[in-house]
Amino acid sequence: MKNKHYINGTWVSSATSETFSVLNPATEAIIAEIPAGNSVDINAAVNAARTAFDQGPWPRLSGAERAVYLRKMANIITRRLDELAKLEVLDNGKPYPEAKWDIEDTAATFEFYAGLAEELDNTSEQAIELAEPGFSSKAIKEPLGVAGAIIPWNFPMLMAAWKVAPALAAGCSIILKPSEITPLTAIALAEIADEAKLPAGVLNIVTGLGKDAGQALVEHADVDKLAFTGSIPTGSKIMATAAKDIKNISLELGGKSPFVIFEDSDIEKAVEWIMFGIFWNQGQVCSATSRVLVAEEIYPALLARLIEETKKITIGSGEQDGVLLGPLVNSDQYNKVLAAIERGVNDGATIATGGQRPPDLSVGYFLEPTILTGVDENSWVWNEEIFGPVVCIKPFQSENEAIQLANNSRFGLAAAVMSKDDERCERVARAFRAGIVWINCSQPTFVEAPWGGYKQSGIGRELGQWGLNNYLETKQITRFDSSDPWGWYIK
């Protein structure tokens, strides 16, 4: 693993000798010391990206030519799949099969945007019908410029791909600042870009802390677009800073997503999807369905089965076979989640199962999967993002009550509904104030479909065509075709 930044197509030593430690959350051991880049490093990266955009070939290549590089990157990621998945396990803690899935999705994201880059050659120009004779007009899409991407630690390589792949497909150059908690696969992404011979300066990767490297990227006057995924407080700060020079921004922020389960649901299927909705990736998922609303007719039976199955989850190092719940990402996150559970209990909730460190795991940030019942709808734990394997579950009496409880949130990232009644599912899906709605499931995410939130969960959409549009500008070109004089001043 290189201990350098990747700037202008070369590995560059940091401007300072400062580093930060990266831990394996399963063992708490330090596994890497990574350069803590600062504003000098960010400035070098932005200058490289600016030159690549203003003077280099990248934005001027056809979409099909750019697609060749994206496909090369996808192929290298696939070739390195096992090694990258293992790196993600060490860095983030997630179970290996989940990490493998992430890396497969990362390769698929590059492949998908290669396809959209090719399509752009045919779709980037659109003729516009004008009511006024003597004029013709067309709209063209062009790469937006230099993009700055700041990402979180929960899906490290995949979150990088969600920004880097569409930015490259569009013809932008980009600076990526990974999370200081999980920077390792981002460094690997630089190796991959290098091997794919991406032109110099098109992708630059600077590691560092949010308050230094992140802040410097957000403040840099030569960055045209900021794409951020992370928490609401950081998103809000970034939006305020970006407002100073009217930077184009997209924000993917937090959530407190509801899952409404009606009385006609199959209890076994409901239990499985509730568990996938909150325990996958240790619940460190922005769209995790952390508020479960169950029709009161089936609430007792469903809760009993949910507790039974939750207790069976194998907890341990993500490297071990059969493990379905790894450690939380670090001690800060661990303590935050424990404090949230305690706060819930102080506000009157009951721990139906979990809430403790597993007795056989004294080292590592391990926490039993936790179910809270009797949660007051005005309490902190019902309303705020915990970002851990903790679900609040509550009975409801009517569809209207369920929708009202589901929508009563400052977040609007995702929501899910389960019922055998298709019409009811469709009705409830439309009633949810959320950007992503699942029917009869929770969490499956597809690169073709738009991803993003309503309300405080964010601005804009990633993935699919929407993800590409984030990195494109629209220009109208209007032409006066008539040979007649205009005749306003000169008659």
Extract the tokens encoding 330: 């670090």
Phi, psi of 228 (to 5 degrees): -125, 135
Q: How far is the CB of 246 from ligand NAD (least distance, A)?
A: 18
Provide the binding-site residues for ligand NAD, judged by CB under 6 A: 150-154, 177, 179-180, 210-211, 214-215, 218, 229-231, 234, 237-238, 252-255, 286, 385, 387, 413, 453, 458
Q: Which is nearer to ligand NAD, 278 or 303 (CB)?
A: 278
Q: Which is nearer to ligand NAD, 170 or 253 (CB)?
A: 253
Q: How far is the CB of 306 from ligand NAD (least distance, A)?
A: 23
Q: How far is the CB of 483 from ligand NAD (least distance, A)?
A: 54
How distant, in Å, are the alpha carbons of 79, 167, 278 from that of 112?
Answer: 17, 13, 28
| C-beta of residue 354 within 8 angstroms of C-beta of residue 367 | yes
Q: How far is Cα 424 from Cα 251, in angstroms, rounded to an integer?
A: 31
Residue 36's SS3 state is: coil
Q: How far is the CB of 177 from ligand NAD (least distance, A)?
A: 6
Q: In what order do the strands lie in the sheet with 458-459?
A: 10-12, 5-7, 203-205, 173-177, 146-150, 225-229, 248-252, 458-459
What crossing angle do the helices spanning 81-92 and 156-170 adopt, rounded to 10°? Answer: 120
Angle at 196 between CA 192 and CA 199, to 5 degrees: 110
Catalytic residue (one of 180, 252, 368, 385): 252
Q: How far is the CB of 155 from ligand NAD (least distance, A)?
A: 6
Structural element, H or E, at residue 77: helix 63-79
Extract the tokens encoding 188: 């690997």
Q: Which is nearer to ligand NAD, 215 or 265 (CB)?
A: 215
Q: Which is nearer to ligand NAD, 292 or 463 (CB)?
A: 463
Instruction: Give catalytic status of residue 219 as yes or no.
Output: no
Q: Which is nearer to ligand NAD, 66 or 177 (CB)?
A: 177
Q: Which is nearer to ligand NAD, 265 or 470 (CB)?
A: 470
Beta strands in 262-333 (DSSP E): 291-295
Instruction: Give the torsion sign (CA, 401, 403, 409, 410).
Output: negative
| C-beta of residue 417 within 8 angstroms of C-beta of residue 437 | yes
| C-beta of residue 165 within 8 angstroms of C-beta of residue 171 | no
Q: Which is nearer to ligand NAD, 120 or 338 (CB)?
A: 338
Q: How far is the CB of 301 from ligand NAD (least distance, A)?
A: 32
Q: How far is Cα 215 from Cα 237, in angstroms, rounded to an integer?
A: 9
Residue 203 bridge partners (DSSP): 174
Q: Which residue has the tokens 């990088």?
A: 160
Q: How far is the CB of 387 from ligand NAD (least distance, A)?
A: 5
How distant, in Å, are the alpha carbons of 198, 215, 233, 248, 258 from that of 240?
Answer: 33, 12, 11, 12, 29
Q: Which is nearer to ligand NAD, 237 or 433 (CB)?
A: 237
Q: How far is Cα 165 from Cα 123, in angstroms, rounded to an integer?
A: 18
Instruction: Give the torsion sign (CA, 356, 360, 362, 365).
Output: negative
Q: Which is nearer to ligand NAD, 21 or 400 (CB)?
A: 21
Q: How far is the CB of 333 from ligand NAD (least distance, A)?
A: 8
In the chain, the largest separation of any two C-alpha atoms, in whole Å, equals: 92
Q: How far is Cα 90 from Cα 68, in angstroms, rounded to an integer?
A: 31
Q: How far is the CB of 256 from ligand NAD (least distance, A)?
A: 9
Enzyme catalytic residues: 252
